[in-house]
A and B are shown apart, each in its own frame.
Chain A
Amino acid sequence: MTAVQFAFLAGLTVVSAAIVAFTALVLLSARRIDGGPHLLAVLRARLGRSPYDLAEGNRWAFYVHRITGFAVFAFLALHLLDVGLYALSPALFDEVHALYSTPLMRVFECGLLFALLFHALNGLRLLVIDLADVGARAAGRLLDGVGVLTFAGTAAGSAVILWPVFAP
């Protein structure tokens, strides 16, 4: 392993640690501020129609939106650094880039895809809520749509990304 590859992996570790720390920060402050997210309520909520359960779904969407936003930004910082290597020397860039096709990195990329998809789709949902003056019930249904699309997109994308690991 070359020095710059090691540096990249160190950077990746830092980014991952930052994402985990931020997630912990968000969820711990949630527990303090409003008793925390109620997991069972969300699981029931898709079948339940009580307004409180709809709010729980929206509450989770908010936390995941914030965490995925931070995750993409943390990754972006690292990505700008490693693409910046190309301007320094294409050979250095290739060294780091060799790491990208390892199975571990591919798994990270699937996580990135999930974060990007959810954040983008949920963000568009929030825009629709404002433009169309949408109430809690409709917002919950939109969230269902976002969830389905995110899951489908992540599954399809992950299949493509992880394919070379299983069928080289």
Chain B
Amino acid sequence: MGRLRRTAAAGRPPDDGLTVTIQRGDPGARTGFRVATFTPMTVLDVLLAVQREHDPSIGFRFSCRVGMCGTCGVRVNGRSVLACQTPVPENGEPVAIAPMAGFPVVRDLIVDTTPFWDEWRRVTPYVVPAEDAAEPARIAPDSPERRAIDPSLDCVQCGVCFSSCGIAGGSRTFLGPAALNRALVLVNDSRDTATQERLDLVSGPDGVDRCHYIYGCSSACPKGLDPAASIRRLRRGR
């Protein structure tokens, strides 16, 4: 159990706790809370504290707590983030938590991520090997292929980029930054044989032409990926 910080120094959360506002689905549900803080504290800790001590009916998703599963995406003070990776602001300013934008809301902070997965599925997001491929595939770690793929590989499909895009969340046809990033990774993979289908898809009306250079994706990615760069590289082919 965390220790309450008893300091009156300027810029710390007040002794009676951090002010937290949580967007709820039910109009009668409580939205304002004061949460006792400890250090270090993440937004996920705040949500768990609210659920444990204030209102057990609050709805949110989480799983691994360490930024690997991509489940806990929420909007904190307007920015889409992973709750388990976002520290509470140092200066004690209030925290407003809302569901990720661009997805239908199921309840409170839980969103339906189907739009994200629909687009993800469209780029055939796995290697399609040749029937007669030599086993095992030999690809040197320092090959040009690996150097092209490695910066874009750690996607946990959390949907934060999709939510920050500004286009993907509204349109039901734009592939979105995550799917395009994955498409680039697989297009560069020498074991894969579905390259042409993916290239046709990304150069079609739902692909890179729909990106409007907002860079919301790259600025929000909690794993430090750069989908905007992947999209530029896919466009470069022209």
Contacts and interface: CB of A to CB of B under 8 A. Distances in A.
Interface of A: 29-30, 32-35, 38, 41, 51-52, 54-55, 58-59, 61-62, 126, 129-130, 133, 135-136, 139
A21 B233 CA distance: 36
Nearest to B221: A51
Nearest to A38: B78
B166 interface: yes
Interface stretch (B117-125, B126-134, B136-144, B212-220): B212-220
A62 B166 contact: yes
A136 B232 CA distance: 12
Contacts of A62: 166, 212-214
Contacts of B228: 135-136
Interface of B: 75, 78-79, 98, 101-102, 163-167, 169-170, 212-216, 218-220, 226, 228-229, 232-233, 235-236
Contacts of A38: 78
A58 B232 contact: no
Contacts of A61: 213
B101 A55 contact: no
Given A34-B102, A51-B219, A52-B219, A59 B236 contact: no
Given A33-B101, A62-B214, A54 B219 contact: yes
B55 to A, nearest CB: 23
A55 B219 contact: yes
Nearest to B170: A33
B218 A136 contact: yes
Contacts of B213: 58, 61-62, 126, 129, 139
